[in-house]
Structure 1
């Protein structure tokens, strides 16, 4: 496992981050979740990502339990705040009240005195940005948070936060962004990536496998494989159904010879692809089985030649989405993905 700096901060993160969205506390049993985390540790993963909203706190609890016997300074724990964690009017957003209460609740569930990275899960239009940034800065001053990040913010939103933090003289600044990014969904490339590169903000990208579609296991004209996320319970099938289109599935199968050429599995190729830009610090993988963690972690340290990257673009062609206005939207099926496969 290799490590990269998180933007221009002094924090190093593993190239592969283990994340537990839609898995721990929801999709997989506790014992399997613990085994997946152990597989990540065995593979050299040191960075772990979760959120207070994942399984309404259960995901943080499982992660905390799994890491309780690990030397705290040997891992980097990231969590998030903003999305609804209850039915009350203050159980969501980036108000000072919700940030403070959510941070303390996350620390209790994770069983730690601090988190390495605390991220605004989405932008909050209802709360003055000054209020949110001061609250985050106070948590840093208190030692409960070491670094700050955002997730799925637009370039203007990130730019405004940086400007306000400087105007207020805050000690802490945004050093990380967690966007959705993969071979198909590249909406951060026109605006977000250039801004973050200028400002020293590292990318910790999620969904490098596009909900498993880029693994090639979903094939055109064939039944969905048993024991996959698309046929599981919970919310996973709803998200995966957004990216199951005949044309897309056909094109993904055409990537298989390119993976073979690189000596990689389809999943490893997809994860390695996201790690090619220097501005990407880490790629988040999830898993429902330990062997998936072991396989995907092998994408760390892989450098793909320019001609292979060009071939990937040629295969996917017009299916690639670079529309920057779709930042903060869930990846969804484009109309052309639903055309009958050739």
Structure 2
């Protein structure tokens, strides 16, 4: 098959001069009567795309191999490049996983091309930061090759809580000591503090960034109105703006992610880091399917049909408030009939997964990754095999064509839609 390749400027000029100096070109009649002579282009072969070369260079060192389907994207509209799959700490650094197993999972994730590790004192206490800091200290990995993301937790149980300047600065310094790092890549404010002025919060985040302790900051479980308020304060007081929002996203929690996060990205540059792709009460209808049972110990305390949020505030005595904060309440099953209907939908989704040759867990992860607004999807793993089982679901994304997605939408029946606009003239 013939290929058309572009030649360099010098070779084009040389060919042009050669044709002009040819005596056969003096007469127009001779040129018209002579058969066309094919032009030979002696050129270089086309190079690969710049994006591919960047990804290849990032994954060549330290025996790292790019996992099929793994890509690197900018976090928000910043220049920070993260893998589209990140390793969360809620399962890996939980009490049920030993330090040896956790280190093996972290190493396997890094060698597979994952460069983001998400931590939070809300999930596993201070143990996660201590363990990850010790693991990174033992590894010969360059500091520029991985990204550490931790949270400042709005803990309702402790007196040292909130998003005041004092608490933010003290929390950042304490996290640096536990992680044994010179700086933290991304610090996320976990839930908005209604008792603290937004101006004080954004000024405190601007301070820790200008001091070199933190590179970027973001939010988690903030409403779109609260995010816009923080952005407006940053612009008003000339402070560094947030780049990311961590939001719950799965087949039964879609409204915030699909309706509002893309709008926030286009307007103010706030990206999306999604979590809980399999935290929707995903206990497989087939009880022997261990791959679908990716639940933490705290999740086992909940009803198996209840949608569990990995970022729930477990210090609350009642789960009603935490359910409201984790995902919008109108998307939560509030009655036994709705819970049973959700279970029936999961059974139908699993039938589609079996037809595609994958597990229910893999289909859920691939479905979340299909959304272009999700720049990084956080996953947890208890073993190396469990990690590979999850990240291999990226190979399923190309199979989710229009037909499959339409079938899933028909089964779920919960595609979010904006309320129709009402004209003020019609109300008169």
Q: TM-score scaled to structure 1, two decimals?
A: 0.83
Q: Which moved more, 1:49-58 or 1:79-88?
A: 79-88
Say yes or no: does 1:9 pair with 2:78: yes
Q: In the TM superposition, what is the alpha-carbon distance from 1:261 to its structure 2 partner?
A: 4.5
> Aligned partners of 2:123, 2:92: CA distance in 1, in Å?
9
> Aligned partners of 1:74, 1:240: CA distance in 2, in Å?
40
| Structure with greater contact order relative to length (CA < 8 Å, sep ≥ 6) | 1
> Aligned partners of 1:240, 1:208: CA distance in 2, in Å?
18
Deviations 1:240-297 (A, max 9, x none): 6323943323321212343344444322221121122222101000122221111111
> Aligned partners of 2:148, 2:383: CA distance in 1, in Å?
21
Q: In the TM superposition, what is the alpha-carbon distance from 1:28 to its structure 2 partner?
A: 1.9
Q: In the TM superposition, what is the alpha-carbon distance from 1:95 to its structure 2 partner?
A: 0.5
Say yes or no: does 1:82 pair with 2:153: yes
Q: Is the 8 A contact 1:80 1:120 kept in 2?
A: yes
Q: TM-score scaled to structure 2, two decimals?
A: 0.67
Q: Is the 8 A contact 1:151 1:179 kept in 2?
A: yes
- What residue is the counterpart of 1:139 in the other structure? 208
> Aligned partners of 1:260, 1:235: CA distance in 2, in Å?
29
* SS of the residue 1:243 aligns to: coil
What are the ranges of 5 or more consecutive residues in structure 1 without an aligned counterpart?
325-342
> Aligned partners of 2:357, 2:266: CA distance in 1, in Å?
31
Deviations 1:30-71 (A, max 9, x none): 222222212212321111101133322111111222222122
Say yes or no: does 1:312 pair with 2:408: yes
- What residue is the counterpart of 1:218 in the other structure? 284
1:275-294 alignment runs, 5 A limit: 275-294=369-388
Say yes or no: does 1:115 pair with 2:191: no
> Aligned partners of 2:95, 2:173: CA distance in 1, in Å?
23
Q: Which moved more, 1:103-112 or 1:292-301?
A: 292-301
Deviations 1:5-24 (A, max 9, x none): 11211011111000011541
> Aligned partners of 1:118, 1:75: CA distance in 2, in Å?
15
Q: In the TM superposition, what is the alpha-carbon distance from 1:147 to its structure 2 partner?
A: 1.1
Deviations 1:320-341 (A, max 9, x none): 67899xxxxxxxxxxxxxxxxx
What are the ranges of 5 or more consecutive residues in structure 2 without an aligned counterpart?
1-69, 309-338, 420-428
Say yes or no: does 1:66 pair with 2:135: yes
* SS of the residue 1:191 aligns to: helix
Q: In the TM superposition, what is the alpha-carbon distance from 1:310 to its structure 2 partner?
A: 1.5
> Aligned partners of 2:303, 2:149: CA distance in 1, in Å?
25
| One of 214, 227, 251 as aligned partner of 1:183 | 251
Q: Is the 8 A contact 2:91 2:381 kept in 1?
A: no
Q: Is the 8 A contact 1:181 1:207 kept in 2?
A: yes
Number of residue-to-residue matches in the alignment: 314
- What residue is the counterpart of 1:243 in the other structure? 307
Q: In the TM superposition, what is the alpha-carbon distance from 1:211 to its structure 2 partner?
A: 5.1
> Aligned partners of 1:225, 1:29: CA distance in 2, in Å?
20
The change in CA–CA distance for 1:226 and 1:180 in structure 2 (over 3 A counts) is closer
- What residue is the counterpart of 2:34 in the other structure? none
| One of 205, 208, 212 as aligned partner of 2:277 | 208
The change in CA–CA distance for 1:27 and 1:139 in structure 2 (over 3 A counts) is same
Q: Is the 8 A contact 2:261 2:271 kept in 1?
A: no
> Aligned partners of 1:96, 1:86: CA distance in 2, in Å?
19
Q: In the TM superposition, what is the alpha-carbon distance from 1:316 to its structure 2 partner?
A: 1.5
Deviations 1:170-207 (A, max 9, x none): 1x211101000011111313334422332221111000
Say yes or no: does 1:274 pair with 2:368: yes
Larger fraction in helix: 2
Q: In the TM superposition, what is the alpha-carbon distance from 1:129 to its structure 2 partner?
A: 0.5
Q: Is the 8 A contact 1:54 1:60 kept in 2?
A: no
Say yes or no: does 1:105 pair with 2:174: yes
* SS of the residue 2:148 aligns to: strand
Q: In the TM superposition, what is the alpha-carbon distance from 1:307 to its structure 2 partner?
A: 2.1
Q: Is the 8 A contact 2:261 2:272 kept in 1?
A: no
Q: In the TM superposition, what is the alpha-carbon distance from 1:85 to its structure 2 partner?
A: 8.5
